[in-house]
A and B are shown apart, each in its own frame.
Chain A
Amino acid sequence: MAVADQPTRMFGQAIKRREDPRLITGKGNYIDDIKLPGMLHAAVVRSPYAHAKINSIDTTAASQLPGVVAVFTGADIAQEQNPLPCAWAAGGVQNNVNTPRALAVDTVHYIGEGVALVVAESPYIAYDAMELVEVDYEPLDVVVDAEEATREGAPQLHENAPNNIVMHWTCGNQEAATQAIDSAEVVVRQRIRNQRLIATPMETRGYVARYDAATGEYTEWMSSQAPHVHRLLLAAFVLGIPENKLRCIAPDVGGGFGAKIFVYAEMAALLYAAKHTGYPVKWIESRRENCQATAQGRDHITDLEVAGTRDGKITGLRVHTYANLGGYLSTIAPGIPTTLYGRMVSGVYKIPSIFVDVKGVYTNTAMVDAYRGAGRPEATYAIERAVDLFADEIGMDPAEVRRRNFIQPEDFPYDNGLGMLPYDSGNYEPTLDRALELIDYQGFRREQEEGRKNGRLLGIGVTSYVEVCGVAPSKWIGLMGEGWGAGLWESANVKVHLTGKVNVTTGSLPHGQGHETTFAQLVADELGVPYEDVVVEHGDTQGTPFGYGTYGSRSAAVGGTAIYKSVSKIKEKARKLAAHMLEAAEEDIVFENGKAYVRGAPEASKTIQEIALQASVAYDLPQGMEPFLDETTYYDPPNCTFPFGTHICTVEIDPETGKVNVLRYVAVDDVGNVINPLIVDGQIHGGIAQGLAQALYEGVVYDENGQLLTGSLMDYSIPRADMVPHYELDRTVTPSPVNPMGVKGAGEAGTIASGATVSNAVIDALSHLGIRHLDMPYTGEKVWRAIHQQ
């Protein structure tokens, strides 16, 4: 292991995650592990109707059940709390914001919306009492499809949103795109659907709320990706209390995939229950509730029009999308199909004329918001399907079409003409070349041709992608029309104690990404202390500086940079103090690998531990220097970062059953510099699994009454280990110029690329049968029908 005088860099080392021994041996501390004296248990009575008026709620029988402490309704809580806020009013959302309350008051808008909260001495009693709450519903007409919801005569969800429109947003140049399409040699049109997904973190949501009547302070433990944001939104918007009267704590978080970014009704309801019962109250979401009531992802209907020349140049792209946002707006919902989708729809290609038109729509379904990739998987799916359709139309190899349209290295920073920030850096072709080489593209094409003669259905799919992460410059996301209601910087505090041990507190919030390891690697390097001496703390609004949380693959690029800068400040102070200790001039002091010495005389050095001791005991400090090494940074990034890469997979389809078998999966990603390759590979693996699962297995199904038919893991297929292939990974490294570490972000790349990759492979396997497109997921039956309808 690295010691102070051993200059092995931790940056780039594939060390195992230090959080794993505790997490995989059952010693983690999740919400359900929290047990407080006198703690009560809550259960939420949920609507069995997708759209209904609540005529009355009778809680008498439930309240009388022994062991029940209280039963609250929406009307009770509405006297004290406001609706949840929508924090990202992107795309012109203004007067038609409709957000949920802690519990519905007079109307329910989707199956599973909470209408009453039962609080009891045990969860068993709470579940018994739920059955005794009598709700008189008056069912209303239901609409679940986003396009249908906008039609004349469709059921209306909210008075302030005529035709159920949340927002109608456009970007790009409509005139230019129209002209490009009208005058093109080739135009391909296709409707595609990007189906709705359930995020399915292994740990469902859960909260424990406590109220201290003596001080008027609330504490809430929450399975959350962004506890500081939750504190802010709950205190300032929902409860109307000073922010410093609420403390939010996220202990170990068992996955989120975006779904735990948001403020939820149960968070608010529990705070109310804790205050009004006088006891701590716990609520743990069941898997069924997770399927019904936790925000979901994707759900786009898109009409693609791609124009180009017969020699493979794409000249125009027009995209019309209906984005289903569900019964209400979740916390950042409007920003996903606009900023993070519409502005990224051109992908890795230099397309002269593009126009994107997005309608956000209310329907009687669960809310839709950010889910791993958030907008970019949808954008990648749209453009990568478009490129394959175009290639098919002109009879050119799809890999070659990609190559002919790539943005070139000299084009960076690149403005895509869609109002996105300039792409920071990139070199796309090497990722394509490497991926083609790894998969032996030509060899597979020959095998495919041979196989087809014998009735084998072999396919190969290529996706080159770029995504935006490391979000975001506050000025851009908040001020310049993107509608984000706050900043998106990160903060970090670094302390070097008297003993030389280091504490890092970060506002970013790991829920599976391994921050405790990666950030310690970073600090160990920069400060020159042993990796083991660095402890990374997070998750408690009382103990950590404000942070916006972990999502959008931003933790290394934004949160990591804040740490880096705090360490730089510590090094600066250490140099000053070392100059004093070595009786030398400050400008002659070099700080390197944890030691400060006079340039040219490294034998007489002061270690960072010695300097920390001196700074702490403070007997002898330079004039005016404060004791202790303790620095905080608030870092607002100047730009986002734009990872990219190429994924290729091969599939074979069983013609008799339609079952798709993935043969090989190759991913060549460029996420900038890599701090810990093991963690990055893990992120890519998990990411690929999620996108591949969208292509092959997952998909929410509501029936026409808004009943959720995929309401459990018996019906909703998430990928298991035996359902994903072996992954073959490689990388190119194009450092980001945006931050001093040159990192981009790796949390979502896999998901962003893999859905389109598998999709293109499946359709390629069927293309000789005249099949141009199929919507995901490619279930056996769907593929079998496609084959046999030809």
Chain B
Amino acid sequence: MYPSDFEYAAPTTVQEALELLRQNPEAKVLAGGHSLLPAMRIRLMSPPLLVDIGKLSELKGVRADGGVAIGALTTYHDLEASSELAQRLPVLVECASNVGDPQVRNRGTIGGSIAHADPAADMPAVVLALGAEMKVVGPNGERTISADDFFVDMLQTALEPGELLTEITVPPMPEQMGAAYEKFKHPASGYAIVGVAVMVHRGADGNVSDCRIAVTGAGPRAQRARAAEDALKSGMDVAEAAARASDGLEYIGDISASEEYRANLVRVLTKRALTRAMEQLR
């Protein structure tokens, strides 16, 4: 398990990193390396240059103002340890602590997970459920991509060549908010066979005013379970809404789970996540 030859650069500024990426269209950004390096070791990827962004300290950490801004280079461990998040968005802590093992969580980054867009990764579901926005900087300057537009297909995102994901921002949340993440782990990889992240808001009238349900693992990319969202917003109860969660999604079947079983897991996990999220509403 030896990668092909590659060059390595560790820029100290974002500009320098972008310049390196511009000059080397085949180059790959290296964050925690926990998806990239395994792929290189089996020669699934053979980038000629790795641009290690580990020294870009401005991309690290959690900031809270109205909403919450998370630097792309923030590790799972730092998410788990963040008191800001524990208070304001515990679902991110919950999700982070569900990823891999301590070694993986010490190296792997939220930005790496989102940029990689593994169909079975955990974070894409949560950022999609939270309606987060991805801040991106590239040769043409900065832009923002909503989570809904970000995950395009298997291992494909809206990131253009030469672009760097810098920050994930979660909009301010109302007081009456609940969120939860439920995961059915693949016994070998520990990734999600299916993962479901939900967020519910309650309006002044006591009804569900907003609801976002995002599914990972079931199909080629993180997807919204809109049928269940609509059902819940229209006043159906959790069980009725969850029964619709598998409608209209794309599925993948493989030796670890058929499409039918994944659809079942989507319904079951949606029910469980919604139940927990609703309990958080006061």
- Which residues in A have some Cβ–Cβ distance to B below 8 Å? 123-124, 126-128, 131, 286-288, 656-657, 659, 696-697, 701, 709-710, 713-718, 723, 779-781, 784-785
Contact = CB atoms under 8 A, between A and B. Distances in A.
B35 to A, nearest CB: 12
A366 B75 CA distance: 40
Given A124-B2, A124-B5, A288-B1, A780 B42 contact: no
Contacts of A780: 184, 193, 257, 261
17 contacts: A123-B2, A124-B2, A128-B5, A131-B43, A286-B1, A288-B42, A697-B188, A713-B189, A715-B189, A716-B188, A717-B187, A723-B187, A779-B256, A780-B184, A781-B258, A781-B261, A785-B261
Interface of A is mostly: loop
Interface in B164-212: 184, 186-189, 193
A320 to B, nearest CB: 28
A126 to B, nearest CB: 8
Contact of A657 (B5, B42, B268): B268
A657 B267 CA distance: 10
Interface in B243-270: 255-258, 261, 264-265, 268
Contacts of A784: 261, 264
A386 B268 CA distance: 35
A392 to B, nearest CB: 27
B184 A659 contact: yes
Contacts of A127: 2, 4, 43
Nearest to B258: A781
A623 to B, nearest CB: 66
Nearest to A285: B1
A131 B43 CA distance: 10
A657 B264 CA distance: 8
B257 to A, nearest CB: 5
Given A709-B255, A714-B189, A785-B261, 10 more contacts: A124-B4, A124-B5, A128-B5, A286-B1, A287-B1, A710-B255, A717-B187, A779-B187, A781-B258, A784-B264
Given A781-B257, A781-B258, A784-B264, A697 B2 contact: no
Contact of B4 (A128, A286, A697): A128
A714 B189 CA distance: 4
| The 10 residue pairs across chains A and B that have the minimum distance between CB atoms | A717-B188, A717-B187, A781-B261, A127-B2, A714-B189, A656-B268, A286-B1, A124-B2, A697-B187, A709-B255
Nearest to A41: B2
A709 to B, nearest CB: 5
Chain B, interface size category, equals: 20 to 34
Nearest to B256: A715
A286 B265 CA distance: 34
Contacts of B256: 715, 779
Nearest to B120: A714
Interface in B50-72: none
Contacts of B187: 696-697, 717, 723, 779
B42 to A, nearest CB: 7
Contacts of B261: 780-781, 784-785
Contacts of B2: 123-124, 126-127
B40 to A, nearest CB: 11
Contacts of A718: 188
Contacts of B5: 124, 128
A784 B5 CA distance: 47
A355 B156 CA distance: 59
Nearest to B194: A657
A714 B268 contact: no
Q: Select the residue from B188, B189, B264 with max chain A CB neighbours within 10 A.
A: B188
A714 B185 CA distance: 12
B265 A714 contact: no
Nearest to B261: A781
A709 B189 CA distance: 14
Contact of B255 (A123, A128, A715): A715
Interface string B100-140: 00000000000000000000000000000000000000000
A44 B189 CA distance: 26
A657 B188 contact: no
Contacts of A657: 184, 264-265, 268
Contacts of B186: 717
Contacts of B188: 697, 713-718
Contacts of A785: 261
A397 to B, nearest CB: 32
A66 B111 CA distance: 39
Contacts of B268: 656-657
B79 to A, nearest CB: 20
Contacts of B189: 713-715
Nearest to B264: A784
A785 B257 CA distance: 11
Contacts of B258: 781
B129 to A, nearest CB: 21
Nearest to B190: A720
B232 to A, nearest CB: 19
Nearest to B191: A714
A656 B42 CA distance: 37
Contacts of A781: 257-258, 261
Contacts of B193: 780
A714 B187 CA distance: 9
Nearest to A703: B255
A126 B3 CA distance: 11
A123 B256 CA distance: 33
A778 to B, nearest CB: 11
Interface string B21-52: 00000000000000000000011000000000
A326 to B, nearest CB: 20
A710 B188 CA distance: 10
A342 B187 CA distance: 33
